[in-house]
Amino acid sequence: MKANLLALTFGISTSAAQAAETILGVYILSRHGDRTDKRHPPTKLTKLGYGQILASGEYFRSRYISSNATHRILGISSDEVVNSQINVVTTDDTVLMNSAQAFVQGLYPPIGTLASEKLRNGTVVGNVNGGYQLVPVHVLDNSAKNKEDTAWLQGTSGCTNAIKDSENYKSSKEFEDVKSQTEGFYHSLESVWSDSFTSEQSDFTNAYSIYDAVNYALIHNETIPSSELLTTEAVFQLRTLADKQQWGHAFNESAPVRAIAGSTFAADVISHLENVIESKGRNSKLAFNSTHTAHSFHSSVSHSSLLSILTFTVFQTTVPPSHSSYSPTKA
């Protein structure tokens, strides 16, 4: 599996210091796994995507949860899930919901007979469904237009002003410039996606939707029309243009409201980590948030087939941190 993991920790990153760290709580923001393209709704998590996100959950298990985890969270249950220790949140969307379920399967796999109960009459009930663990996944309220089916990512913010400002991007000079500069490029490739987009739709306005459809096809479709046009350079160009377009819709230094989804999310991370500190870890220690807000937060990270994940940890250390560090790691 190819997954880019961004580990965001604040503290010293030398191994001596890490040994002195005690992790108190973690917040994980995850993108969903590989899914079908938005151009052909309803979108769904693919088998490939299920495997990716399950592996991601397994990775985080080995990092934060299992008894021999490298960065075990203080006091977290290693095998049998304790629901008060984990808070999983997503939106009412098939792709995101299934991703969240797959992730927690990796985090807390079936435990066989380990979980059992003894009834009054002496009968022991254990190994139900192989000891499969049921972890509640909480649902954020969102309306139909915010689902993965829609190409509209900013929609998740639910903020009318942010959505309006995001649309302003299309009337900016920067947008117009990129659109006219890339017209020839998009038209030269339109026979690849003529099933899905008309010639008029084949431009920078649909950069993300087009890249999304091409990316899905490149992974799953054996018969792509004019596939010879999809050179490595062309695909890279489609992807970077999609990134650029989404970034433009999600961020503008002179218009802070445009990044409201990212700001709200950042506040949520802080509030979760503060709660861990204030409750001395008695409340939820691990928060998992699978939303597509991820886009407005770090939309320059590539789309679709690569899983992007951000983690935030709170820990105490016996050695005072001397500086902050940001360490991207690959798994």
Ligand X SMILES: *[C@@H]1O[C@H](CO)[C@@H](O)[C@H](O)[C@H]1NC(C)=O
Q: Which residues bind ligand X (CB under 6 A)?
A: 62, 66, 68, 70, 87, 89, 119, 121, 123, 140, 168-169, 172, 174, 195, 217, 220-221, 223-225, 248, 252, 254-255, 264-265, 268, 272, 287, 289, 291, 293
Using an 8 Å Cβ cutoff, are 289 and 308 in contact? Answer: no
Nearer to ligand X by Cβ, of 125 and 322: the residue is 125
| Helix, strand or coil, per DSSP, at residue 312 | strand
Pair type for strands 116-118 and 3-9: unpaired
Using an 8 Å Cβ cutoff, are 55 and 109 in contact? Answer: no
Nearer to ligand X by Cβ, of 123 and 329: the residue is 123
Least distance CB 317 / ligand X (angstroms): 21
Cis ω for the linkage preceding 328 (within 30 of 0): no
Least distance CB 322 / ligand X (angstroms): 27
Residue nearest to ligand X (CB): 265
Nearer to ligand X by Cβ, of 64 and 169: the residue is 169
Least distance CB 244 / ligand X (angstroms): 10
Nearer to ligand X by Cβ, of 2 and 173: the residue is 173
> Which residues lie below 8 Å from residue 280, measured CB to CB, with a gap of 6+?
none
Longest dimension (CA), the chain: 77
DSSP secondary structure, 212-273, as one string: HHHHHHHHH-S--TTGGG--HHHHHHHHHHHHHHHHHHH--TT-GGGGHHHHHHHHHHHHHH
User: How many whole angstroms separate alpha carbon 265 and alpha carbon 268?
Assistant: 5
Nearer to ligand X by Cβ, of 87 and 133: the residue is 87
User: How many whole angstroms separate alpha carbon 50 and alpha carbon 295?
Assistant: 20
Least distance CB 12 / ligand X (angstroms): 22
Nearer to ligand X by Cβ, of 68 and 320: the residue is 68
Least distance CB 151 / ligand X (angstroms): 17
Nearer to ligand X by Cβ, of 144 and 322: the residue is 144
Integer CA distances (angstroms), 130 to 77, 113, 137, 240, 246, in order: 19, 7, 21, 45, 43
Q: Which two tokens stand for residue 220?
A: 């799953």
Least distance CB 196 / ligand X (angstroms): 7
> Which residues lie below 8 Å from residue 32, measured CB to CB, with a gap of 6+?
45, 49, 53, 95, 96, 98, 99, 148, 290, 292, 307
Nearer to ligand X by Cβ, of 83 and 322: the residue is 83
Q: What are phi and psi of 31, to 5 degrees?
A: -85, 160
Using an 8 Å Cβ cutoff, are 170 and 176 in contact? Answer: no
Least distance CB 320 / ligand X (angstroms): 27
Least distance CB 128 / ligand X (angstroms): 13
Least distance CB 183 / ligand X (angstroms): 18
What is the helix (H) or strand (E) element at residue 317, kind and residue range? strand 307-317
Nearer to ligand X by Cβ, of 151 and 224: the residue is 224
- Sheet with 286-290, edge to edge strand ranges: 138-140, 86-91, 286-290, 21-30, 307-317, 3-9, 325-330
